[in-house]
Amino acid sequence: MGVFKKKSRLYYVLDIVVNVVIIVLLAWLIRTYLVSPFHVSGPSMCDTLNKIDGKCVSSYGEYIIVDEFSYQSFFGKEVGSPKAGDVVVFNPPGNEKQYFVKRVIGVPGDKIKIESGYVYKWIDGKFERLDESEYLNSSNLGRTFTPNNETRIYEVPEDKYFVMGDNRNQSTDSRQCFRSAFGSKCNADHENTYVPEDMIRGKAWFVFWPINSMRGLN
């Protein structure tokens, strides 16, 4: 009888350990390959993100769920890749500790021009102005500028992306090589202008906090 009780206790402990291991493993798999939470900081994506109670939040604000699965690669085959218009979470070039959230404007092979406050894309042999009215508010529409407000053409390299914040007036992005310190030295050929595909962590899926701001993205 004593041996049976001893075994029962051992099985009970092992059962708990196995269940904890399984839960931890599942949580790791989900967070690494499926979805993960992300706390949005700063005003660079207003009004799309961090506009709470009618005001653009300058510090930490909304929480979003990031879809990591859509951009995964398994056994050499991609599930998918970022598309123009996607809102993505990524590490800026040369900085694996910090996370940014911006909108993809140019994908590999695209030619993007910024001129007189507007964004253009090379389509069928000519530059055509992008319709950004769906995600730029009235304060930003027609006010996309480069350092020194000069016309620039960006030819997006293979496996890299050109991204900008929706709040163009308050966003550090591909236009400034993600660092305002570069100033006029940041140009279309600068090594930090574009985001490598392997630095993109996932696609912003939906806002889950605050509750009264819950909504889908993209």
CATH number, domain at 93? Answer: 2.10.109.10
Residue 169 per-residue DSSP state: G
Q: Which of 51, 70, 102, 174 is catalytic?
A: 102
What pLDDT shows up at residue 140? 97
What pLDDT shows up at residue 1? 53
Q: Please check the confidence at residue 31 and state whether its pLDDT lies above 80.
A: no
Convert the pLDDT of each residue in 181-210 to its tens digit. 777 788 899 999 999 999 999 999 999 999
Tell me which residue range forms the domain holding 60.
3-216
- For the chain, what's the residue count? 218
Average pLDDT of the chain, as a whole number: 87
Residue 165, SS3 per DSSP: coil
Residue closest to 162 by CA, chosen among 204, 121, 212, 209 = 121
In the chain, the number of structural domains is 1
Residue 144, SS3 per DSSP: strand
Residue 160 annotated among the catalytic residues of the structure:
no
Mean pLDDT highest for which of 19-33, 34-48, 106-120?
A: 106-120
Q: Please check the confidence at residue 30 and state whether its pLDDT lies above 90.
A: no
Q: Phi and psi for 19 in degrees, rounded to 5?
A: -65, -40
Q: Please check the confidence at residue 28 and state whether its pLDDT lies above 90.
A: no
Band the pLDDT of 137: cuts 50, 70, 90: very high
Q: Please check the confidence at residue 151 and state whether its pLDDT lies above 90.
A: yes
Contacts of 92 by beta carbon, 8 Å cutoff, 6+ apart: 98, 100, 178, 192, 195, 199
Residue closest to 188 by CA, chosen among 151, 216, 133, 140 = 151
Residue 102 annotated among the catalytic residues of the structure:
yes
Q: Please check the confidence at residue 118 and state whether its pLDDT lies above 80.
A: yes
What pLDDT shows up at residue 94? 83
Q: Which of 44, 70, 171, 174 is catalytic?
A: 44
